Amino acid sequence: MTKLPEKLGNFQLVKQLGVGRHCQIWEAIEHPSRCRVAIKVVVPESAQDAGQRKLLEHELRVGKSAEHPTIIRIDRLSEEGGLPLLVMELFPHPNLKRLIVDGVDALGPLVPRIITELSLAIDHLHTRGWVHRDIKPDNVLVASDGQVKLIDLAIAARLPGLLGRLFGGKGPVQGSPSYMAPEQIRGQTVDGRADIYSLGCVVFELLAGKPPFAAVNANDLLNKHISATPPSIDKLNRNATTSVSQLIRKMLAKKPADRPASMKEVLKTIRSIRFFERAVADT
């Protein structure tokens, strides 16, 4: 992948925050205001790909429709040095995946806030008519006090109406294999219950230190989401309560109809249960 220059138009690149196949995310200083922002830049190899620009335009449209403190704010689409880029709010904190890899025990005191704020973010997207379709720890930034920002709205899709739910056909399979709902894997029309399944995988990983399913290749992993029974969380984390184990089990139901009907239902349950049998201490 070609290295980006130190300056793109008015943006002075400071620190690379993330990288994907077609884009890089950087902390940058915008001149002349000297405001610190995050920018998502299409790399030079993909700059002429109209599809990449359309993805940024779509992400901007979704972001502009979402106004919630738990969702990263997207300001505008620009082009500098021939490279399309999104200008976004800077939230200079690690993603949840990195924190989980460092050890879930240290996250214990933050678990209720992380899960609640992530649930609020997903619920807000649903109320605005979107399903995220890529809920995973990598797309959740977390501050040291547990404050959350949901990122990466690139493959968000419009929630289907009644006819879409009844007669929706197959489409391209998009998402991350460790967190995809069975209906998403099958390429079926998905609604908010697919995000609920993905959130269940994230909650499981936050408590167990690993996703509910693992496999030697992506195909086997996807098949497990479709047909395998996930392990019980209280067997992997002895401090997890029966209540949170039951919630995760319901969120990971294979059939959408067997999951909580909405994120509001999930939030109601989250706010009424304890996550741990014994209090977890700050480290």
Catalytic residue numbers? 134
One-character DSSP codes across 124-137: HHHHTTEE-S--SG
Consecutive H or E run containing 84: strand 83-88
H-helix segments, the chain: 50-65, 96-102, 111-127, 162-167, 182-185, 192-208, 218-227, 233-236, 242-251, 263-270
Q: Which amino acid is present at 5?
A: P
Which residues, in sequence order, are CB contacts of 203 under 8 Å at separation 6+? 115, 244, 247, 248, 251
Q: Are 131 and 157 in contact (CB under 8 A)?
A: yes
Taken in order 79, 141, 246, 122, the sign of the CA dihedral is: negative
Q: How far is CA 277 from CA 10, 26, 156, 234, 241, in A?
A: 52, 41, 36, 10, 5
Residues with Cβ within 8 Å of 125's Cβ and at least 6 positions away in sequence, in order, are 62, 66, 71, 131, 132, 150, 156, 195
CB atoms within 10 A of CB 135: 29
206 in helix, strand or coil? Answer: helix
